Amino acid sequence: GQQLNQSPQSMFIQEGEDVSMNCTSSSIFNTWLWYKQDPGEGPVLLIALYKAGELTSNGRLTAQFGITRKDSFLNISASIPSDVGIYFCAGRLIYNQGGKLIFGQGTELSVKP
Amino acid sequence: NAGVTQTPKFRVLKTGQSMTLLCAQDMNHEYMYWYRQDPGMGLRLIHYSVGEGTTAKGEVPDGYNVSRLKKQNFLLGLESAAPSQTSVYFCASSSDYSPLHFGNGTRLTVT
């Protein structure tokens, strides 16, 4: 089946540092989404990308839809303690299947004050 | 504005018992999904529905059944629970114009 490879699996950084994580696949996607999950809660949408090459920012977060449609990255600048959580990428295949998404394995972020 | 609501939040079952998880959304979304989340494995799709009265298998459907009798509700059933079904279950909904919105999860332990 289709798979998304998300890396890194975990990151331990100092407050104020920048963070970068990415997802890659052998399949072509027409949508890339980035979610954040806080402990005990469901994932919450951070950024949605709909066109190849698209670069979108949301505050300190920036994400890009790879030009090949097979990858995406998320950057967080000047990290703060509340950035702690698990970040998931998700992609929707080029052939729409009722909006079904495929998720990466997640990147667990820890921020030391 | 409730969004996606899951009940219950926690449940402990003994092996062989059955239960139903309820998901309700108030956003008039066409599509609804059930995922399970296990450490290091991300979110895996169990079943999904593209409209009232329709369901389809996802990535890991074995041991689960679903029903979508009303557009706003999506039920996930476990007929005979097994320890391998210990997990956190998330319901989500979406439309053609809206990405997935998730509920807050149900933590299920099967002993």
Average pLDDT of chain A to the nearest whole number:
91
- To test the contact with chain B by mutation, choose from A101, A102, A107 the residue with the greatest count of B C-beta atoms within 10 A, namely A101
**Tokens, residue A48:** 């949605």
pLDDT at A100 over 90: no
Instruction: Kindly state the percentage of chain B with pLDDT values over 70.
Output: 99
Which residues on B lie below 8 Å from A86 (Cβ)? none
Note the pLDDT of residue A96. Answer: 57
- To test the contact with chain B by mutation, choose from A103, A105, A108 the residue with the greatest count of B C-beta atoms within 10 A, namely A103
For A31, A71, A101, A102, B59, the CA distances from A27, given in Å and listed in that order, are 12, 9, 13, 11, 16
Contact B104 A42 (CB under 8 A): yes
CA–CA separation, A15 and A77 (whole Å): 10
CA–CA separation, A81 and A95 (whole Å): 39
The amino acid occupying position A60 is R
CA–CA separation, A74 and A59 (whole Å): 12
């027409």: which residue's tokens?
A: A30
**Tokens, residue B77:** 């059933």
Mean of pLDDT values over A9-22: 96
